[in-house]
Structure 1
Amino acid sequence: MPDSDAQMPLVEHLEELRRRLILAVAAIAVGAVACWILYPQILELLLQPYCQIRGSGSVSNAFGDGCELLVTDPLEPFGVRMMVAGYGGVALAMPVLLWQAWRFVVPGLQAGERRWAIPFVVVGVLLFATGCGLAYWSIPRALDFLIGIGGPDLVSVFSPSKYLGFVVKMMLAFG
């Protein structure tokens, strides 16, 4: 890494950016592979809010007493696994991504800006994680409300991609 007080030519900035992006993509790939391998456990964790409301009778038990999602497309299971691996890979790689962004930006910051940047990032990450936890806690309540608002004549059966998309959107919105 060049001296933080020195000026870097454009080509050196681009080389530094390229190197940091390669490290970030590699971290996402490693995280995605880990999530691909741990997919059954991750899916079970993500299905818990759905299973919780399913047990309460808010969602149709048309397919039995288990906690199943309706697959309507032969490619959907593969797409769901890819989605879980992709989003999970980004989530697992987030510390590396933030570190790479920080190391790229820090040479351009003044000493006073550097002093405030670390607490800002730490607080931001903690608040985001807290928001994701709050979203996970509120998903059963949100599903119960959203399903109930349609009335008793509507039967709710979810597909994996729609349900997991809802969970991800809730976590991003709350985070």
Structure 2
Amino acid sequence: MPLGAHLRELRNRVVVVAVAVTVLSVVGWVFYDEVFAVLGRPLAVAAAEAGREDDVTLNIGSVVGVFDLKVRVSVFTGVLLASPVWLWQLWAFITPGLTRREKRYATAFVTASVPLFLGGVALAYTALPRAVTFLVELTPEGIVNLVDTSMYLGFVMRILLAFGIAFLLPVVLVALNVIGVLQARSMLRAWRWVVVVSFAFAAVATPSPEVTAMFFLAVPMTLLFFVAIGISALNDRRRARRDREEGYGGLADEEVSPL
């Protein structure tokens, strides 16, 4: 496919994603209060665990900041709700040259990607109170900690999206294996680096002195990586067997050919 056609296809898919996110952001706007309460809960839990309910509170510094905050939370909700759409568009864009047989993997890709993405978001959300508790406990006694709402929600939304996207890594690896770009043995050779990066990422994303929080996030990421290796190995074996069968078939045709 020419470069121009690729760019037009990318533009069309970006437009589809943008429309889906915009429409579903309206849902986030309507249910803003409920979403805000869910995002603010980790701070409330952390303050209660630290015994600082009266000293730690969210704060908005300007009138305009209220509107900006509502827009950001609404768009964040739209991105989460539109995950099936943009995951499908991603798959369709990176695999335009697949055969009809290989395109059947598209449904499996989206079916696996959406739960993994939302599962990563949910897992990060359950670990957030531990991380926020550690940060809240740094507040000196007698000091009221007026947490900037915009910065706090930005921190929470970045963590949630980061772990949701991180949990998509195994599906991306399997997708690259399906289109023949990456083999299972290549992934296996890099397993040490993947484990180190997974734990480093979890340590940075959960700034808590408790090791359990880091393991709580890093171990599932590592396990999913090895699951991707297993699925890719099965696919490599299936592809090699099909190539051998097609090779033998071609050889037999040549032997019986009068030419």
Is TM more than 0.5 here? yes
Cα RMSD (Å): 2.8
Instruction: From the superposition, tell whether residues 148 and 30 of structure 1 become closer, same or farther in structure 2 (CA, over 3 Å).
Output: same
| Equivalent residues, number | 164
1:116-131 equivalences in 2 (<5 Å): 119=108, 122-131=111-120
> What secondary structure sits across from 1:69 in the alignment?
strand
**19-28 vs 29-38, greater mean Cα deviation:** 19-28
- Determine whether 1:152 maps to 2:141: yes
Q: Equivalents in 2 of 1:159, 1:95: separation in Å?
A: 32
- Determine whether 1:41 maps to 2:30: no
Q: Equivalents in 1 of 2:80, 2:24: separation in Å?
A: 8
> What secondary structure sits across from 2:127 in the alignment?
helix
Q: Pick the structure with greater CA Rg.
A: 2
Structure 1 regions of 5+ residues with no counterpart? 1-7
**153-162 vs 138-147, greater mean Cα deviation:** 153-162
Aligned to 1:134: 123
- Determine whether 1:69 maps to 2:62: no
Instruction: From the superposition, tell whether residues 140 and 11 of structure 1 become closer, same or farther in structure 2 (CA, over 3 Å).
Output: closer
Q: Equivalents in 1 of 2:85, 2:157: separation in Å?
A: 21
Aligned to 2:13: 20
Q: Equivalents in 2 of 1:18, 1:173: separation in Å?
A: 24
Counterpart among 41, 47, 53 of residue 54 in structure 1? 47
- Determine whether 1:83 maps to 2:72: yes
- Determine whether 1:100 maps to 2:123: no
Is the Cα–Cα contact under 8 Å of residues 60 and 157 in structure 1 kept in the other structure? no
- TM-score, scaled to structure 1: 0.76
Whichever structure has more helix as a proportion of its residues is 2
Q: Equivalents in 2 of 1:60, 1:46: separation in Å?
A: 17
Q: Equivalents in 1 of 2:45, 2:2: separation in Å?
A: 57
**Quick one: which amino acid aligns to residue 45 of structure 2?**
Q
Quick one: percent identity of the two aligned structures?
Answer: 37
Instruction: From the superposition, tell whether residues 150 and 47 of structure 1 become closer, same or farther in structure 2 (CA, over 3 Å).
Output: closer
- TM-score, scaled to structure 2: 0.54
Q: Equivalents in 1 of 2:50, 2:79: separation in Å?
A: 35
Is the Cα–Cα contact under 8 Å of residues 88 and 110 in structure 2 kept in the other structure? no
Is the Cα–Cα contact under 8 Å of residues 84 and 114 in structure 2 kept in the other structure? no
Q: Equivalents in 2 of 1:173, 1:162: separation in Å?
A: 16
More relative contact order, 1 or 2 (CA 8 Å, 6+ apart): 1
**Quick one: which amino acid aligns to residue 162 of structure 1?**
M
Structure 2 regions of 5+ residues with no counterpart? 165-259
